[in-house]
Structure 1
């Protein structure tokens, strides 16, 4: 039976751990002969197969999700499984110490099904954005940074003092920031996806501001060198929010990272239906109308279609 590994998985599996691409290929070969190895997951139509990482070099335990069709198998996601926690004895050598309560307790992490959905949605939406940039705005595409590796994400989490939500993790595994062109990024308003070092710096800076919550992780900046406003992701609610020195009003309906990226992709693919902002091109670079600098309107051409 034919087994198909989705392109985004082939490109990013090595970001989980060096041994994951080989484990994924080996699992695909095994599924070709034993297509019913998986068990039903919480996702409709998706079978889940747990892979023992000890069978491969430099590979964690994996959860691999796939769709079984009559004549082929499509592997849709792969994620590393957290190690089983080992209870620690309390100070008196007796019962394990109990977790904190209230503010000391981290927000519950989404289950495997929710994580799998988020991985697929973010990868699909961002893939549509970057695919359009590659084909129509090569200058903007070239400004995108390569994806981050596990070590870089682990260092960021250590600096933040909290885990990075799965939707942000998969985005940064694909693209770890936007260096932009002439100060502008590729997101609506010509805002830019922050590099990880800027995320860490802005988080430290803004945590000192009264009212800034520990769960707010900066993601998007007004420009590549302008952090006077931008978007943060609330790790507890999954919603995006805006900070600004300019007292900009909040959106009527809060976005999630997924809906924000999906709408961005939709505006590029069907600009006539765009409502948030108007995309256009200027010399092979994507420029959004709301963020055009004075004097730059002359060489800007709105997208049509």
Structure 2
């Protein structure tokens, strides 16, 4: 049986950023995988594997970790898809002024985690005082092991900002009070829903065939991790964070994907600012229906009749 190995365009671009010889090295590995699909070691979820490349074997190529999906339940039995290429050693110095982006700075990640923690506590303090039903809808913190298990299942490193949020709150309960983001209805996704949504998007990416050579931009990149949706059960629209850049993006049910120049920290700080200073809010404003937060004015007539804008 002939196995087709796909290296999507966005993976080719990443290879180019890592070094002039990286794409060639990955292509060599792809030819090996076509003959021996289980060459790599299985990682976490069934169907995900990781293989290493010795950088000394190829010019202008650092040592690499290559993650790939093979066969069911993620792909057809005769298909492999390269999902991630990560340098595990120093990048080659090619003399180009536009060098590849450095690895995350642990000090900067610590600062980002503190900023997320501060913004989230401002939000939860407001909810506890003014919208206790919405506060009660938040799930407790996720253990580190659950986040690590999710990383292994997705084959993607969770960025520090999202990890910091999940270490404070691992999503929302499936009740109306769970919506707290300023789009008249957004809920934090529990980790299980995150995994389900991610796999659905990746499968949709595979089935559409977009993002392959000669195609359009990808419908979903492996580095995009969903974290928020219309509700816990309705994931037709939502927000994701790009694990490579830290930027927050939006998806909807018409295959529109928009990446904004906004970080998780900025998103949470804007929510906290709007709650604490509702007179400065643009677009949807914070309000209450009973003891739950509802951004509005709501579009539904029954909710609009009950909704009261919050004034500090």
Which TM class, normalised by the smaller chain length?
0.5 to 0.7
Deviations 1:246-299 (A, max 9, x none): 577848x53211100000000000000001421100110000116654421111
**Which structure carries more relative contact order (alpha carbon 8 Å, separation 6+)?**
2
Asked if 1:265 corresponds to 2:272, the answer is yes
Shift of 1:158: 1.0
Distance 1:237 1:139, change over 3 A: same
Contact 2:298 2:307 in 1 (8 A): no
- State the distance in 2 between where 1:184 and 1:130 align: 12
Q: Which residue of 2 aligns with 1:98?
A: 63
CA RMSD of superposed structures (Å): 2.6
Q: Which residue of 1 aligns with 2:198?
A: 203
Shift of 1:303: 1.1
Contact 1:125 1:262 in 2 (8 A): yes
- State the distance in 1 between where 2:108 and 2:127 align: 29
Distance 1:89 1:235, change over 3 A: closer
Q: Which of 203, 213, 227 in structure 1 is aligned with 2:235?
A: 227
- State the distance in 2 between where 1:181 and 1:132 align: 19
TM (normalized to structure 1)? 0.63
Q: Which of 86, 107, 110 in structure 2 is aligned with 1:113?
A: 107
Contact 2:138 2:172 in 1 (8 A): yes
Contact 2:249 2:257 in 1 (8 A): no
- State the distance in 2 between where 1:255 and 1:126 align: 16
Contact 1:268 1:279 in 2 (8 A): yes
Q: Which 4+ residue blocks in structure 1 deviate beyond 3 angstroms?
A: 100-103, 106-109, 246-251, 290-294
Q: Which residue of 1 aligns with 2:253?
A: 245
Q: Which of 277, 285, 290 in structure 2 is aligned with 1:283?
A: 290
TM (normalized to structure 2)? 0.62
Q: Which of 140, 146, 153 in structure 2 is aligned with 1:146?
A: 140
Distance 1:303 1:138, change over 3 A: same
Q: Which of 183, 193, 203 in structure 1 is aligned with 2:188?
A: 193
Contact 1:185 1:224 in 2 (8 A): no
Shift of 1:111: 1.2
Deviations 1:2-48 (A, max 9, x none): xxxxxxxxxxxxxxxxxxxxxxxxxxxxxxxxxxxxxxxxxxxxxxx
Distance 1:276 1:126, change over 3 A: farther
Shift of 1:125: 0.4
Alignment length (residue pairs): 211
Q: Which residue of 2 aligns with 1:79?
A: none
Q: Which of 156, 160, 165 in structure 1 is aligned with 2:159?
A: 165
Contact 1:119 1:167 in 2 (8 A): yes
Q: Which residue of 1 aligns with 2:18?
A: none
**Structure-to-structure mapping, 1:120-135, within 5 angstroms:** 120-135=114-129
Shift of 1:237: 1.2
Q: Which of 211, 217, 221 in structure 2 is aligned with 1:213?
A: 221
